[in-house]
Amino acid sequence: METFEKEMNYMKKYYGSGETKKVSWRESQLKGLRRFLIEKEEDILKALMLDLGKHQVEAFRDEAKLPQIALLSSAEIVPEPLGLVLIISSWNFPFGLSLEPLIGAVAAGNTVVLKPSELSPACSSILALGLPNFLDNKAIKVVQGGPHESQHLLQQKWDKIFFTGSARVGKIVMSAAAKHLTPVTLELGGKCPAVVDSLSSSWDLEVAVKRILVGKYGACGGQACIAIDYVLVENQYYPKLVELMKLWIKKMFGENPKDSNTIARIVNKQHLSRLKNLLADPEIKKSVVYGGSMDERNLFIEPTILLNPPLESVIMTEEIFGPLLPIITVDKIENSIKFISSRPKPLALYVFSKDKTLQNRMISETSSGSLTFNDAILQYAADSLPFGGVGESGFGMYHGKFSFDTFSSQKAVVRRSFLTDFWYRYPPWTLNKFQLLEVSYNYDYLGLLLVLLGLKTPSKRRSYFANP
C-alpha cells in the first residue's frame, strides 16, 4: 500500500507537469492501446476462453465496432426524465438558485420537491405559497425548513438530488444519496481568485476596477459563490490598483456606504460574527488598508480591502463570503498560475489581462468551473455556457440546455430491421464464419466477396480453430 501511495503521488505530480494534456501524448497513448489490442489479440482471446469459456469468435465479435451484420439498423438518443427529484437550494440567490434547476427538472419531465433555504425565509415563503398557484401541485412541491427537514427529505429515495450550498453539507447530501445509489449534482463554493495583470491603459484599468468591485461588493455583498474572493496582482502594480479601488468604492457605494442601499447586508448574526472574527485576528487587522468598520445591529460591513494577509490564515484558506477583499501580491503575474494551481479548484477564475500568452497559459495550466477574461460574474448569465464546479467546487452542471440534460437520462435506442440477417453471426462457429465476421467488421466488401467465393486466404487467426 505504501508503494502504491508513492505511485499515486508520483502520478499527481506527473499530471501537474502538464504532459498528459498534450494532444501528442493522448494520441500516442490511444495508439499504444490499439497496438496492445492488435499485438495481444491471441493472448486476450485465450484469456477470455480460460476465464469465461468464451469461444474466440464470440470474443472477437463482442470487442469490435457496430458491424456490417447490423445492416439496416438505426440508432438515436432519447432523453427520458429521471423521475422524482429533490432540489435543495441556498439563500444568497434564493430565486435563481431554486428556479433555474426547477426549470431544467420540469422541462425534462420530472416531478420535483424543492427545498429552499431557511435563511431567506421571506423568499422561501413566496416560493412555497406562490408557486402552487401557478404549477401542477401533484408534480411540483415546495417544502420549507432547515437542516432537520432537509435531512428528513434526504432519507427518502430520490431519482436525483440537485444541491446548492456548502461543501460541508454537500458531503452529507452525497452520503445520503449513496445509500440509494442516487445521482447527485453538487453546486458548491470556494475561493474564486481574480488575477489583475498590469494594464497599460488607464481606461482599461478603470473598467477592470469597476468590474472587480461589482464582482465582489456588488454581488450580494460578496456573499455569492462566484464573487471574487481575493485578488492577485504584481508587487509593483498594486498601489495603483488599490488607489483606484478606494476611489471607485466611494463613487459606487457613497462616502458612507452604510447609508447607501446599494450594498447587500450580511444574511444573519452568525455570518456577521464569523466575518467579524476573521477581522479580529491582529495579523489580519494589520493588513486592512481600507474599510473594516461594521454596524452589527444593521448587519452591515463596510467594503474592506486587506493587503497581504498571512496565506495560512482562515481568511486565505476558507471561503470569505462577505465584503472583505484580500489583495495578494506576487513578484511576477505568471506566479499567480502556481498560486492558484496549488489550492483547491475554484468555481470561477477571473483574469484581467490583454496578454494572449498569459490568457492561454491560464486556460491550459489552471483548473476551475469557469474562466472569464476581463470581467466577473458575467459567465453565470450566459445560458449557452454550462455552470458548475470542478474538484472541491462541485460537479455536474446546469443552465440552458445543460439543465435539461442534468435532469434527463440519455437513453440509447437502436432499431433493427428483420429484412437483413446474416447466418455467420450465429454459432456454431466455423473458420468460414470467422472470416466473414472479420471482413464485415472492416467493411471490406471485396474481402467479403472473396470469402464467399472461397478465394480469400484464411486469416492468421485460423490457428484459434486448431486449438480452441
Please say which residue, 318 or 444, places its beta carbon nearer to ligand NAD. 318
From the list 181-189, 291-299, 430-438, 460-468, the region that binds ligand NAD by CB under 6 A is 181-189
Cell of 134: 401557478
- Out of 88, 232, 266, 325, the residue judged to bind ligand NAD by CB under 6 A: 88
Q: Residue 290 Cβ, how far from ligand NAD at the closest point, in Å?
A: 24
Binding-residue pattern over the window 283 to 312 for ligand NAD, x denoting contact by CB under 6 A: ------------------------------
With binding defined as CB under 6 A, does residue 56 bind ligand NAD? no
Cell of 36: 496492445
With binding defined as CB under 6 A, does residue 347 bind ligand NAD? yes
- Out of 56, 68, 110, 117, the residue judged to bind ligand NAD by CB under 6 A: 117
Is residue 330 a contact partner of residue 350, using CB atoms and an 8 Å limit? no
With binding defined as CB under 6 A, does residue 118 bind ligand NAD? yes
Say which of 192, 225, 302, 319 is annotated catalytic: 225
Go through the chain and tell me how many residues it has: 468
Question: Could you give the 3-state DSSP secondary structure of residue 425?
Answer: helix
With binding defined as CB under 6 A, does residue 112 bind ligand NAD? no
Binding-residue pattern over the window 135 to 174 for ligand NAD, x denoting contact by CB under 6 A: -----------xx--xx------------xxx--x--x--
Q: Residue 138 Cβ, how far from ligand NAD at the closest point, in Å?
A: 24
Cell of 164: 446548492
Identify which of 262, 212, 253 has the alpha carbon closest to the alpha carbon of residue 375. Answer: 212
Q: Residue 367 Cβ, how far from ligand NAD at the closest point, in Å?
A: 16
* Alpha helices, H only, 131-265: 147-154, 167-179, 202-214, 238-253
365 is catalytic: no
Ramachandran sector of residue 166 (left: φ over 0; alpha: ψ -120 to 50; beta: rest) = beta
Q: How far apart are CA 462 and CA 444, in angstroms?
A: 18
Q: How far apart are CA 216 and CA 278, in angstroms?
A: 17
Binding-residue pattern over the window 184 to 223 for ligand NAD, x denoting contact by CB under 6 A: ---xxx----------------------------------
123 is catalytic: no
Please say which residue, 117 or 440, places its beta carbon nearer to ligand NAD. 117
SS (H, E, C) 227-277: CCCEEEEECCCHHHHHHHHHHHHHHHHCCCHHHCCCCCCCCCHHHHHHHHH
- The β-bridge partners of 111 are 84
Cell of 436: 466473414
Say which of 100, 187, 302, 319 is annotated catalytic: 187
CA angle 9, 369, 352 (to 5 degrees): 105
Q: Residue 129 Cβ, how far from ligand NAD at the closest point, in Å?
A: 17
Could you give the dihedral angle defined by the CA atoms of residues 203, 288, 193 and 172, in that order, rounded to the nearest 10 degrees? -150
With binding defined as CB under 6 A, does residue 257 bind ligand NAD? no
Q: What are the residues binding ligand NAD (CB under 6 A)?
A: 88-92, 97, 115, 117-118, 146-147, 150-151, 164-166, 169, 172, 187-189, 225, 319, 321, 347, 389, 394
Catalytic residues: 187, 225
